Amino acid sequence: MDTLLLRHRERVTLKAIAVSSDSSSYKVAIIGSGPAGLSAAARAAELGVAHIVIESAPDISNTVNFWYQKGKHVMDEPANMPLRSSAKFSEGTREEVLKAWREDIDHLKINLRFNAALKAINGEAGAFEVTLANGDVIKAESVVLAIGTMGNIRKLGIPGEDHPAVAYKLDDASLLKGKKIIVVGAGDSAIEDAIALSKHNKVTVINRREGFDRAKSRNAAAILTAIENKEIACIYGGVPESVSPSPGEGALADMIIESAKGSVTVPADLIIIRAGAMPQRQLLDSLGVGFPNEAETAFPIIGEGYQSSRAGVYIVGSLAGCPLIKEAMNQGYEAIEFIEGRAIDPADQGLLEAVLKPLPEYQGVKEALVQLKKNVPMIADVTALVLREYVRESELRFLKAGDVFYKPGNYTTGISAILKGSIGLSLHGDPNERSYCYTVGDLLGIVSLSAGLPVDIWAIAMEDSVLLETPSRASQKLFNSVDAIKKEIDHLFTRRIILRSFVSLLPQDNIQEDIDEMQFDAIAADVEVLSLKAGQLVYKEGSDTDAFYIIRKGAVSLSREFEGKSQVQHLISAGEWFGNDEIFLGGNRLDTATTSTRSEIVKLDASKFMAMLARYPTIQHAAERKARNMLLKEQQKSTETNTSAVIGFLDDTGVVEGTNVLVIDESLCVRCDNCEKACAETHGGISRLKRKAGDTFATIHVPVACRHCYDPSCMKDCPPDAISRQPDGDISINGNTCIGCGNCVANCPFGVVQLVAAPVQEPTSLLSWLLFGKGRAPGQESEHLHDGKASKKAVKCDLCVNQASGPACVHACPTGAALRTSPDQLVKIFEASHLKH
Amino acid sequence: MNRSFIHQDQFLYLKIALGLCLVSILLYAVDDPVGPPSGNSWLGYTLGTIGALIIVWLVWFGVRKRQYTGTRFSLTRWLSAHVYLGAALLVIGTLHCGFQFDNNIHTIAYILMVMTILSGMIGVYYYLTIPGLISANIGNANAQQLNATIDQIDRKALEIARQIDSFVHEMMAYSIQTTLNERRPANKKVVMDMLNFGETIKEASKACYCSLTKEEPIRVEQPVILSKKRAPKDPQLVLSAIIIDLSFNRSPGEKLQQLLDLINEKAACIQKLHLDRVYNSRLKIWLMFHVPLSLATLIALVIHIVSVFYY
C-alpha cells in the first residue's frame, strides 16, 4: 500500500510541473503523432512555427507503433504519388519507418507531448484553448486534428496501470509459455486472447459482468467450455482495483480485483487489458466538427486547405479519409502551408493531369474539374479534396458508337459517369430494340455496385462516348461524403432495382414493350428502406399483404409451417424481390420472411405498383401466370422436407451470401485432397482452400474457400482499395497494391483470406519427380518458400480466372465431387440428386 | 450424383468402351484365321496394338493426375475414361491372345494386366461406396473434431476419476495414455497401426489386469475380461468392464456412473475414429497394389512386344 500511495504522490507532483510548463501559447497545436500529425509538425518545425504535438499514447504513431505487428513491412503506396513532407518516409519494416521518424523528431526539434489525451477544444480560430484529459490547457491559433480512425484504447485508469507487465494487445500467443496471464475484458478480443493463451499458460479472465453475452456466440461458447473444463479461470463480477509489482518471486505483478467474494490478489507475468476502444465519432461531434451524414463510415466535412467545418480546425490523415501513410504525410505538410497562408497545388496535381489529359478539349486540370462538375450534376457540391480523389482514382473510357459497355452477366466494378455521348440500355442487345437512353451526367453501374449484382441488361454506346470510370471504394467514398449525393444515389438505386424487377416480369418474347425508367420515379421516391439485423422478421405467414419487398443488401429466407415445424422454402438474395406472388394472386402471406444476414430491404407500396402494372396488360398477365406456376411448384415442394433442410443449412452457414461457392459432394469425395494440391500448384505453392474445414450437411460439404459474396466484407475496409469485383463476378485481390494490412482477413466472416509472404515457388519437373523422386512433389505445400523478409500480402481464391479450364480445384477432382456453383443452383442440384440424409 | 466419374458425360466413355468391346467380339467371331485364334493373325495384331496403346494411355493417368495447369479435359473425365477403357481391356486383351495361355512372358503380361484391372475395379468399388460410409460414420464431424471431443471427455473423466479414488484415477490415466497412443494422427503408418490394434487391446487388458492384481485392492473374478466371447474392441471397454467389476464391490456412487457414461461415450467416439481410419486407408490401400501392378504390366508389355518381334 505504501508504494501505491507513493505513486499517487509522484503523479500529483508531475502534473503540477506539467501545468506550469505549458502556459505558453502556440501558433498551431497538432493532435496526434501519426504520419499526418508528424509530417505537419515536421513542416512547422522546419519553418520555425511555434507548435506542439499532443499524443495520447506514450510513444509516437499509435497505429504503426501499436497495431502493426513487429517487423511488418510498411508499403509506400500509392507508388506514383510523390512524397511531399519534411519528415522521411520510404518503404521498409515498421521499425525502420519508426526509426526514421524518431530521427526527424530529434533533428527538427519537434515539440512532442506524450500521454496527453485531447478532451475539448474551446474558443475560436486564432485563440483556441485545447483542454487535455488531465485538465491542462494549451493555447493555439490553429488546431490540426490527425487522430486517425483507430480510436483510443480504453484504459482502466487504475493505479499501477503503467507497470511493464500491463499490455493492451497480444503480439504472438505462441511465444508465451508457462506464464501466469490475466486477461481483463469479456468481448471477442479478450476471449480470443484468453483461449489462444490458455494452451500453454495459466490464464485468468476478469469479467466485469456475469456472462459473456457481449461476445459472438461461438466465442462465448468456447470460453464457457474452457472455464468449465478448468482450462481458464474466470472471476465474474470482477473489477480491477490496482496493479503493483509482485513481492514474490513467482510473478512480475499483482493485480487486486474487487469481486462479489471480496478483494482478491492475482499474481501475473502479463496483464492484457482488452476493454475496447473509444469511438472517434463521439469525440469529433463534441469538438464541433461537422459530418455530412449519420453514416458510421462517414468522414468529416473538409473544405479548401483541409479546413473542417469549424474554422481554424484542420483535419488530415486517415480521419480525412486518407488511410495511406504517404498521402497522409502530404496532407500534414500541405495543411501547415495553408495555415501559413500559402495556397499550393496539391501533391496529386500530376496524377489528375494524367487522368484528365486525354479528354477532348482539355485545357488544364482546373478547367477540366470545373467542366466535370458542370457536366455531372451529382458531384456539383463535393469539396475539392473529395473530387480530386474521385478523379485521381478514376479512368477515362472511350467508346465508339455500337461498342458494348456491358452485357447481362457482367459485373460493373464501379460507377461510370457519362461525360460525352450517350449509352442505350436494351434487354436483348438488339440494335432495333426500343431502349432507354442515358446521356451526359447520368451514372451507370449503381445497382451492381450497391448490391453486388450482375448486370441484367445490355449497355451499348449510341454514339462516340466518353465515360469516367471510378472503382467501387472511391465511388462509395464520394457518395458518403455528401448527404445529398447519398440520398440521390439511394433513390436512383431504388428506381433502377424496381425497373429490374419489373423487367424480370416481361415475357421472354416481348422485346417491344416501351418501358421508361422515369415512371418508377414516383414509386421510388415513396419507399421505406428497412435496415434489419440477421434473424429479424419482415412479415409473418397469414398476415395481410400490402407491400412488395426488394432486397438491396443481404438475404431473406421464406419459411412455412408444416405440422408445427417451420421449414425454409426459399432463399432470396440481393437484388431479388419477394412477397410479390401473393399480391399478383391476392390472398394472405404464404410464408414467414426472416432476414438471414444483416439486410437492407426496400418496401414498396403494393397498390401503387399494381396501378402502374395495370397500364401494361400483357406484363400483368405474364406476372400472374408466373406467380401461379410458382405456387403450383411450391405445393409439390412443400412435402420435400430434405430440400427445406438443405436450404436451412445454406442459410445458417452463410452460403447464401455467396455468388460462387465451392461445394463437395461427400458421397463422391475420396478425400484425396487433389483439390488442395491443384490450388497450391496453381497459386504459388499455397492452397487457398481447406477441404477438411468447413460446414457439412448430409453429404454436402462447404469447404473453407472464398464464396465471392454479393456484399463482400473483405472489400469494406481495404485502405489501398486493392479488392474489387471483376467483370466476371469474382472478387479479386490485387497483389500489386495490397499492403498486407490484414483488414480483409479480419473482416471475412468465413475465414477464407490469408496473409502470406510472396511465395517463391521452386519450379517442379513432374517427370523427374515421378521417375527419380527429385524435387518437390506437385501440389505439395512447401514451408520454405520465402526468406522471411518478403512482405505479406492477402490472398484468397481467384476462381483461377487465368486458367482456361476454370477453377483448378474442380478441374482436378477425379470423381466429380467438387463443383463451384451459386446457392440456388446448389439447391436445384440437391433436389435433382434426391440425396437423403 | 450424376456428375460423378461413373456418369460423366452421360456415360460417354462407357458407351465407347462397350462399342470397342462389341466391335472386337464381332470381328473375333467372323474372323477365320489360319490356325487357332491368336495374337499372330491380323486381328490379333490389331487388337494387340489397340490394347497396348490403351495400356500406355492408362498408365499416363498417373502423370495427368499431377498436371494441374494447361490441361483441357477435367480429371473427372479422365478417370471416367480410365475406368471404362481399363475394364474394356479385359475383353480386348483376352481376344487378342485368343485364349492361348502358357508358361511364358506373354501370359505373365496378361495375368499382370488382369490383376491390375481387378485391383482397379476394387478401387472403383471403394470409391463408390466408402465416401458415403465415411459421411455416415462421422456425420458432420471430422477426425480432428472427434479427437477434440475425446480430449474433452478424457479431461472430464480424469477429473471425476480423481474424485473417486486414487486407484480409479490411475487406471483412467493409464487408459487415456493407451488410447492416446492409438489416436496419434495417422499418416503412412496407418496400415501398421491397424494391424497392431488387436495386439494393443490384449496388452492393455493384460496391463489393467496386472495392475489390479498386483495392488490387490479388490479381488476380481479372474476371467471377466479375457474370457468374454466378444472381445472388447477397445481398451476403453476393457476399463469399463473393470470398473463395472469394481462397482460390484463398492457402492456404485453417482460419480462412478458419470465416469462410466463418459467412458461409453468415448468408446463410441473411438470406434468412429477407428472406422474412419479404416475407411480412409481403404481409399488409399488399393492404390498400393494398383500402381505397382500397372507399372509391372507396362514392363511386361514391353518385354512381350520386344520378344514377339524379336522371335
pLDDT tens digits, one per residue of A214-252:
666 667 778 888 888 888 999 888 889 889 888 877 788
| A140-153 pLDDT per residue, tens | 999 999 988 776 66
Query: What mean pLDDT do residues A320-336 have?
Result: 88
Residues A630 and A11: their CA atoms lie apart, in Å, by 75
pLDDT for the residue numbered B128 = 92
| B141-155 pLDDT per residue, tens | 777 778 778 878 888
Cell readout for B92 is 480386348
Residues B75 and A805: their CA atoms lie apart, in Å, by 11
The minimum CA-CA distance between A813 and chain B, rounded to whole Å, is 6
H helix runs in B69-189, sequence order: 75-97, 105-138, 143-164, 166-183
Query: What mean pLDDT do residues A426-442 have?
Result: 75
Q: Which of A548, A542, A518, A544 is nearest to A608 (CA)?
A: A548
In a domain, B256, yes or no: yes
A364-481 has CATH 2.60.120.10 classification: yes
Q: Sort out which chain A residues have CB atoms less than 8 A from B139's CB and list them.
A: 696
Q: Is the pLDDT of residue B282 over 70?
A: yes
When the pLDDT of each residue in chain A is averaged and rounded to a whole number, the result is 81
Of the listed ranges A7-11, A638-642, B104-108, the least confidently predicted one is A7-11
Query: What mean pLDDT do residues A488-510 have?
Result: 76
| A810-832 pLDDT per residue, tens | 999 999 999 998 887 888 777 77
Same domain, B176 and B257: yes
Torsion of CA A173, A178, A183, A186, to 10 degrees: 70
Higher pLDDT, B165 or A105: A105
Residues B188 and A545: their CA atoms lie apart, in Å, by 63
pLDDT for the residue numbered B186 = 37
Higher pLDDT, A728 or B196: A728
Same domain, B299 and B245: no
Cell readout for A508 is 421472354
Of the listed ranges A318-332, A411-425, A486-500, B239-253, the least confidently predicted one is B239-253
Same domain, B203 and B93: no
End-to-end CA separation in angstroms for chain B: 51
- Look up cell 513491412; give the residue: A73
Contact status of B62 with chain A (Cβ, < 8 Å): yes
In a domain, B213, yes or no: yes
The minimum CA-CA distance between B110 and chain A, rounded to whole Å, is 25
Same domain, B194 and B234: yes
pLDDT for the residue numbered B230 = 36
The minimum CA-CA distance between B68 and chain A, rounded to whole Å, is 5
CB A696 within 8 A of CB A722: no
| CATH class, range A517-639 | mainly beta
Which of B57-71, B226-240, B288-302 is predicted most confidently? B288-302
End-to-end CA separation in angstroms for chain A: 66
CB A754 within 8 A of CB A745: yes
The CATH number of A166-275 is 3.50.50.60
- Domain of residue B33 covers 8-134+286-310
Contact status of B125 with chain A (Cβ, < 8 Å): no
Contact status of B121 with chain A (Cβ, < 8 Å): no
Give the residue from B12, B63, B67, B76 with the most A CB atoms within 10 Å of its CB, the best one to mutate. Answer: B76
Same domain, B215 and B230: yes
Beta strand segments in A580-682, E: 592-595, 599-605, 661-665
A22-151+279-339 has CATH 3.20.10.10 classification: no
pLDDT for the residue numbered B109 = 94
Of the listed ranges A159-173, A282-296, A328-342, A424-438, the least confidently predicted one is A424-438
pLDDT for the residue numbered A278 = 59
Higher pLDDT, A476 or A680: A680
B305 alpha-carbon distance from chain centroid: 34
Split at pLDDT 50, 70, 90, the class of A157 is confident
Q: Which of A104, A208, A95, A221 is nearest to A158 (CA)?
A: A208
Determine what percent of chain A is predicted with pLDDT higher than 70: 87
Query: What mean pLDDT do residues A584-589 have?
Result: 80
Residues A443 and A467: their CA atoms lie apart, in Å, by 9
Number of domains observed in the structure of chain B: 2
Task: Give the single-character DSSP code of A658.
Answer: B
Q: Inspect the interface and report whether the beta carbons of A813 and B142 lie closer than 8 Å.
A: no
Higher pLDDT, A154 or A147: A147
Of the listed ranges A100-109, A327-336, A716-725, A746-755, the least confidently predicted one is A716-725
pLDDT for the residue numbered A641 = 59
Q: Is the pLDDT of residue A631 over 80?
A: no
Size of interface A-B (CB pairs under 8 A): 106
CB A475 within 8 A of CB A394: no
Split at pLDDT 50, 70, 90, the class of B218 is very low
**Residue A229: exposure state from Cβ atoms within 10 A (0-12, 13-18, ≥19):** middle
Beta strand segments in A705-743, E: 723-725, 731-733
| A456-471 pLDDT per residue, tens | 788 888 889 999 998 8
In a domain, B1, yes or no: no
Q: Is the pLDDT of residue B214 over 50?
A: no
Ordered DSSP codes for A137-177: EEEEEEEEE---SS-EEPP---TTTTSTTEESS-S-GGG--
Q: Is the pLDDT of residue A322 over 60?
A: yes
Determine what percent of chain A is predicted with pLDDT higher than 90: 17
In a domain, B175, yes or no: yes
How far, CA to CA in Å, does A396 sit from each of A235, A442, A706, B149, B167?
Answer: 61, 15, 31, 58, 81
Q: Sort out which chain B residues have CB atoms less than 8 A from A803's CB and list them.
A: 69
Same domain, B253 and B187: yes
CB A805 within 8 A of CB B78: no
Residues B260 and A546: their CA atoms lie apart, in Å, by 60
Residues B198 and A733: their CA atoms lie apart, in Å, by 52
pLDDT for the residue numbered B179 = 66
Q: Which of A814, A728, A702 is nearest to B68 (CA)?
A: A814
pLDDT for the residue numbered A79 = 73
Same domain, B279 and B160: yes
Residues A78 and A720: their CA atoms lie apart, in Å, by 8
Beta bridge partners of A528: A603
In a domain, B2, yes or no: no
Q: Is the pLDDT of residue B197 over 50?
A: no
Same domain, B275 and B152: yes
pLDDT for the residue numbered B11 = 92
Q: Is the pLDDT of residue B183 over 60?
A: no
CB A478 within 8 A of CB A471: no
Query: What mean pLDDT do residues A724-728 have?
Result: 81
In a domain, B266, yes or no: yes
Same domain, B247 and B271: yes
Torsion of CA A413, A418, A420, A421, to 10 degrees: 90
Domain ranges of chain A: 22-151+279-339, 166-275, 364-481, 517-639, 651-833
Torsion of CA A63, A64, A70, A75, to 10 degrees: 130
Same domain, B95 and B184: no
Q: Sort out which chain A residues have CB atoms less than 8 A from B140's CB and list them.
A: 695-697
pLDDT for the residue numbered A656 = 81
Residues B201 and B204: their CA atoms lie apart, in Å, by 5
The minimum CA-CA distance between B90 and chain A, rounded to whole Å, is 23
Instruction: Report CA Rg, chain A.
Output: 30
pLDDT for the residue numbered A638 = 52
Asked if residue B223 has a cis previous peptide bond (ω within 30° of 0), the answer is no
One fold for A364-481 and A517-639: yes
- In this complex, the residue of B2, B78, B280 whose CB is nearest that of residue A833 is B2
Higher pLDDT, A278 or A428: A428
- Look up cell 459432394; give the residue: A665
Q: Sort out which chain B residues have CB atoms less than 8 A from A671's CB and list them.
A: 131, 134, 280, 283
Give the angle B65-A675-A413 at the CA atoms, nearest 5°: 125
Give the residue from A671, A686, A781 with the most B CB atoms within 10 Å of its CB, the best one to mutate. Answer: A671
Q: Sort out which chain A residues have CB atoms less than 8 A from B66's CB and list them.
A: 766, 770, 777-779
pLDDT for the residue numbered A782 = 56
Same domain, B275 and B147: yes
When the pLDDT of each residue in chain B is averaged and rounded to a whole number, the result is 77
The minimum CA-CA distance between B70 and chain A, rounded to whole Å, is 8
Q: Is the pLDDT of residue A477 over 80?
A: no
How far, CA to CA in Å, does A603 sit from each of A206, A262, A430, A494?
Answer: 45, 55, 33, 10
Beta bridge partners of A137: A131
Q: Which is it for the CA torsion A468, A474, A479, A485, positive or negative?
A: negative
Residues B229 and B246: their CA atoms lie apart, in Å, by 21
Q: Sort out which chain B residues have CB atoms less than 8 A from A229's CB and list them.
A: 152, 155-156
Of the listed ranges A42-46, A498-502, A733-737, B167-171, the least confidently predicted one is B167-171
Split at pLDDT 50, 70, 90, the class of A13 is very low
Of the listed ranges A236-240, A318-322, B168-172, B239-243, the least confidently predicted one is B239-243
| A41-85 pLDDT per residue, tens | 999 999 999 999 999 888 888 777 776 666 667 777 777 788 999
Higher pLDDT, B3 or B115: B115
> Treating both helix axes as pointing N-terminal to C-terminal, what angle do B75-97 and B8-30 enclose, rounded to 10 degrees?
10
Q: Which is it for the CA torsion B193, B198, B203, B205, positive or negative?
A: positive
Split at pLDDT 50, 70, 90, the class of B198 is very low
Q: What is the 3-state secondary structure (H, E, C) of A324-353?
A: CHHHHHHHHHHHHHHHCCCCCCCCCHHHHH
Of the listed ranges A215-229, A248-262, A630-644, the least confidently predicted one is A630-644
pLDDT for the residue numbered A512 = 52
Q: Is the pLDDT of residue B239 over 80?
A: no
ipTM over 0.90: no
Contact status of A808 with chain B (Cβ, < 8 Å): yes
Cell readout for B193 is 497401426
B281 alpha-carbon distance from chain centroid: 4
- In this complex, the residue of B69, B71, B76 whose CB is nearest that of residue A814 is B76
Query: What mean pLDDT do residues B113-134 have?
Result: 94
Same domain, B305 and B213: no
Of the listed ranges A32-41, A664-673, A807-816, B206-215, the least confidently predicted one is B206-215
Q: Is the pLDDT of residue B5 over 80?
A: yes
Higher pLDDT, B4 or B289: B289
pLDDT for the residue numbered B229 = 35
Of the listed ranges A203-217, A543-557, A707-721, B157-171, the least confidently predicted one is B157-171
Q: Determine phi and psi for A428, rounding to 5 degrees.
A: -120, 5
Cell readout for A680 is 497450391
- Look up cell 483542454; give the residue: A131
Residues A328 and A34: their CA atoms lie apart, in Å, by 9
Higher pLDDT, A383 or A681: A681
Higher pLDDT, A224 or B61: B61
